[in-house]
C-alpha cells in the first residue's frame, strides 16, 4: 500500500480551504458586504440617507440609473426620472433615493421620496425645494409601472442593460460577468414577479363598486392596501384607499393618545407611525435600524413649515383670522384647539367627505398590524380602525394643495366654495396660485400635458376621488372668504 503523504494531503486541504475562503470572501464582498450610508447633516440624511430597505426592495443602482436610457419610450417625457416628478438638485441621484452598497450599490426610496416638493412662481420658473412637504408632482404608480414595463421590454436583456450601463460607467470584467449572468436576470425576474403580484389587485375590476381602482396620479398613492395584501397577508378585498400625501413638518408627538396621525387617524403614536412607514417602504423586521428612524422622527418634529414666499396683506390676514375663529375652524385646526388632530366622524353633518379611504382600513387590518411584530422591538399596539378623518394641522397649507385626504379639491377657494369645485382638474403643476391658494390646476396646456402623462387629469366621479363634503365656511361672504384665504396663506 502506498504510504499516504500527509504533507501533500495537508497542502491540498489547505488549498481547498483557502480557495473556499477566497470564494466565500468574494461572495460576501460582491453580494453581502453592507456599507451603511451616514450623513452628518440632518437634512442630507433625510434627503439621501438609508432607511434600510435596499436589501429587500433595492434595485441595483447601475441598472436603475441606466433604465431611463434603455426604455425612454416608457417614460412620459424626456429628462429621465425627473419626468415622473423626482426632484434633482445637482447630485447624481434624486432626493428621496438612497444608494447603499450591499455587495453592489442598490437604490431604494426613503421618506423624502414622497415628502419633498418644489414650488415655483410661474411655469418654467426656477423651482424651490421644500423638505418634509407633499410630493405633489411625483407619480409613484407611474414610476412603478415604468420599472415593470422596462423589465418586460425586449430591450431588457443582459446585452441591452450592460450597454446602457456602459454609457456612463466602467465595469470590470468580473463585475460585467456578475451583472450579465446574475444581477440583470435576477432584477428582471424580481420586477416581473412584483408586477404579477400587484396586478392581482391594482387594476382589478371591483364588482361591488362597479369600477376599477382609480389611478393614483401625481401626488397620491394607495398607502395601506399594499401593506394589507403583501405584508400582513390579508385577503385581497375591494376597498379603495387612494390618498394624497401629507406633510411631515412640525410633527408634534402625541401625549397619551391626544393626537392621531394619518388621514383617518389610524394610529396615535408618532413612533409607531414612523416605524410602520419604514416597513411600508420595504424595510423588514430584520433590517430595521431604529437609530436612523428615530433620527428621522426627531427631524420631523423640528422641521419648520415653509413661510409663504409672496407678499401678504397683513390687515386682510388679520381680518381672516377673526373669520377663522368665528367660523369654528380654529377649534379643529389650531394647535391646542379642542378637536385638533382628532378623528372627526365622517358622518358629521358638515364633514361627509369621500368615505373610501377610511373604509379601506378595516378592524381586521388594524388587528393584523398590532400582531405583526409581536415579540420584536417593533411591537405595534396603537393601530385601530376609525370612522372619520383627522382634523389636520394646516402648517404650510399654501404648499400642500390639492386639498382633502384624496386631494380632490384644487384650491382653498374651492374648498370654501363647494358649488364651484371642478368635476375634472389637473394635478402636478407646482406653480403657486396666489389668488385662490394651492397650485395652478387649469393652465391652458394642462390637457395636452396630461395626455402625455406629465400631469394627471383628476376625475372626481371615479370611486375614491369624490370631492364632496367639508362644507365649513361655505356660507361666508366672498369678502370673508378672501380674508380667510389670506390668513390661511400665513400658516
The single residue among 63, 151, 296, 399 that binds ligand HEC, judged by CB under 6 A, is 296
Question: Is 95 or 248 the residue whose CB approaches ligand HEC more closely?
Answer: 248
> Which of 136, 142, 38, 37 has the alpha carbon at shortest distance from 83?
142
> Which of 319, 323, 327 has the alpha carbon at shortest distance from 472?
327
Here the cell at position 110 is: 426613503
Helix axes 61-70, 158-166, angle to 10 degrees: 100
Alpha helices in 28-98 (DSSP H): 42-48, 54-57, 61-70
Question: Is 178 or 239 the residue whose CB approaches ligand HEC more closely?
Answer: 239
Max Cα-Cα span within the chain: 111
Site for ligand HEC in 83-112 (CB under 6 A): 109, 111
Site for ligand HEC in 377-396 (CB under 6 A): 389-392, 394
Of the ranges 30-38, 259-267, 427-435, 440-448, which one interacts with ligand HEC (CB under 6 A)?
A: 259-267
The single residue among 55, 223, 396, 453 that binds ligand HEC, judged by CB under 6 A, is 223
Q: Strand 97-102: give its sheet, edge to edge.
A: 34-35, 97-102, 104-109, 59-60
Number of residues that bind ligand HEC (CB under 6 A): 48
> Which of 312, 324, 330 has the alpha carbon at shortest distance from 480?
324
Of the ranges 81-89, 99-107, 152-160, 400-408, which one interacts with ligand HEC (CB under 6 A)?
A: 400-408
Contact 343, 388 (CB under 8 A): yes
CB of 169 to ligand HEC, least distance (A): 27
> Does 405 help bind ligand HEC (rule: CB under 6 A)?
yes
How many Å apart are CA 66 and CA 168, to the nearest integer?
A: 8
How many Å apart are CA 114 and CA 137, to the nearest integer?
A: 10
CB of 166 to ligand HEC, least distance (A): 31
How many Å apart are CA 346 and CA 349, to the nearest integer?
A: 8
Burial 32-58 (b: 16+ CB within 10 A, else e): eeeeebeeeebeebbbbbbbbbbbebb
Site for ligand HEC in 406-435 (CB under 6 A): 415
> Which of 226, 286, 282 has the alpha carbon at shortest distance from 108?
282
Question: Is 111 or 184 the residue whose CB approaches ligand HEC more closely?
Answer: 111
Count CA within 13 A, CB hemisphere, residue 108. 25
CB of 129 to ligand HEC, least distance (A): 17
Site for ligand HEC in 138-167 (CB under 6 A): 140
> Does 279 help bind ligand HEC (rule: CB under 6 A)?
no
The single residue among 54, 272, 281, 433 that binds ligand HEC, judged by CB under 6 A, is 281
The single residue among 81, 229, 398, 403 that binds ligand HEC, judged by CB under 6 A, is 403
Question: Is 262 or 421 the residue whose CB approaches ligand HEC more closely?
Answer: 262
Of the ranges 143-151, 193-201, 240-248, 455-463, which one interacts with ligand HEC (CB under 6 A)?
A: 240-248
> Does 39 help bind ligand HEC (rule: CB under 6 A)?
no
> Does 481 help bind ligand HEC (rule: CB under 6 A)?
no
Question: Is 112 or 183 the residue whose CB approaches ligand HEC more closely?
Answer: 112
How many Å apart are CA 453 and CA 106, to the nearest integer?
A: 28
**Binding footprint of ligand HEC on the chain (CB under 6 A):** 51, 109, 111, 113-115, 140, 221, 223, 243, 245-246, 248, 251, 261-263, 273-274, 277-278, 281, 296, 327-329, 331-333, 339, 344, 351, 353, 389-392, 394, 397, 400, 403-405, 415, 470, 472-473, 484
Amino acid at each position: 500500500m502506498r504510504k499516504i503523504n500527509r504533507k501533500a494531503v495537508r497542502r491540498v486541504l489547505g488549498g481547498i480551504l483557502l480557495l473556499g475562503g477566497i470564494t466565500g470572501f468574494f461572495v460576501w464582498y460582491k453580494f453581502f458586504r453592507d456599507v451603511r450610508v451616514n450623513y452628518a447633516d440632518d437634512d442630507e440624511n433625510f434627503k439621501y440617507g438609508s432607511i434600510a430597505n435596499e436589501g429587500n426592495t433595492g434595485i441595483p443602482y447601475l441598472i436603475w440609473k441606466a433604465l431611463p436610457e434603455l426604455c425612454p419610450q416608457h417614460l412620459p417625457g424626456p429628462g429621465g426620472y425627473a419626468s415622473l416628478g423626482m426632484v434633482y438638485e445637482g447630485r447624481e441621484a434624486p432626493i428621496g433615493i438612497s444608494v447603499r452598497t450591499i455587495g453592489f450599490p442598490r437604490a431604494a426610496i426613503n421618506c423624502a421620496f414622497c415628502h419633498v416638493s418644489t414650488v415655483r412662481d410661474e411655469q418654467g420658473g426656477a423651482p424651490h425645494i421644500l423638505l418634509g412637504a407633499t410630493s405633489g408632482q411625483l407619480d409613484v404608480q407611474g414610476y412603478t409601472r415604468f420599472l415593470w414595463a422596462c423589465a418586460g421590454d425586449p430591450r431588457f436583456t443582459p446585452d441591452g442593460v450592460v450597454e446602457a450601463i456602459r454609457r456612463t460607467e466602467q465595469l470590470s470584467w468580473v463585475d460585467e460577468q456578475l451583472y450579465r449572468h446574475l444581477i440583470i436576470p435576477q432584477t428582471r425576474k424580481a420586477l416581473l414577479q412584483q408586477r404579477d403580484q400587484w396586478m392581482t389587485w391594482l387594476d382589478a375590476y371591483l364588482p361591488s363598486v362597479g369600477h376599477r381602482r382609480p389611478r393614483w396620479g401625481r401626488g397620491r398613492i394607495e398607502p395601506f392596501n399594499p401593506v394589507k395584501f403583501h405584508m400582513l397577508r390579508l385577503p385581497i378585498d375591494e376597498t379603495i384607499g387612494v390618498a394624497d400625501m401629507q406633510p411631515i413638518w412640525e410633527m408634534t408627538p402625541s401625549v397619551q393618545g391626544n393626537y392621531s396621525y394619518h388621514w383617518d387617524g389610524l394610529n396615535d403614536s408618532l413612533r409607531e407611525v414612523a416605524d410602520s412607514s419604514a416597513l411600508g417602504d420595504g424595510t423588514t423586521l430584520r433590517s430595521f435600524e431604529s437609530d436612523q428612524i428615530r433620527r428621522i422622527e426627531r427631524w420631523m418634529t423640528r422641521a419648520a413649515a415653509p413661510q409663504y414666499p409672496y407678499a401678504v396683506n397683513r390687515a386682510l390676514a388679520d381680518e381672516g383670522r377673526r373669520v377663522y375663529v368665528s367660523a369654528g375652524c380654529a377649534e379643529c385646526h389650531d394647535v391646542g384647539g379642542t378637536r385638533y388632530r382628532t378623528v372627526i366622524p365622517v358622518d358629521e353633518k358638515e364633514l361627509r367627505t369621500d368615505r373610501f379611504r377610511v373604509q379601506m382600513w378595516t378592524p381586521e387590518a388594524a388587528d393584523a398590524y398590532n400582531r405583526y411584530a409581536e415579540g420584536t422591538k417593533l411591537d405595534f399596539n396603537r393601530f385601530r380602525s376609525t370612522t372619520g378623518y383627522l382634523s389636520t394641522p394646516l402648517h404650510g397649507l399654501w404648499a400642500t394643495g390639492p386639498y382633502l385626504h384624496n386631494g380632490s379639491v384644487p384650491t382653498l377657494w374651492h374648498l370654501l366654495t363647494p358649488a364651484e369645485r371642478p368635476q375634472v382638474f389637473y394635478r402636478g403643476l407646482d406653480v403657486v396660485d396666489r389668488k385662490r391658494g394651492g397650485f395652478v390646476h387649469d393652465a391652458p396646456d394642462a390637457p395636452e400635458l396630461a395626455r402625455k402623462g406629465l400631469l394627471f387629469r383628476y376625475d372626481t366621479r371615479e370611486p375614491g376621488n369624490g370631492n364632496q363634503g367639508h362644507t365649513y365656511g361655505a356660507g361666508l361672504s366672498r369678502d370673508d372668504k378672501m380674508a380667510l384665504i389670506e390668513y390661511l396663506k400665513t400658516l
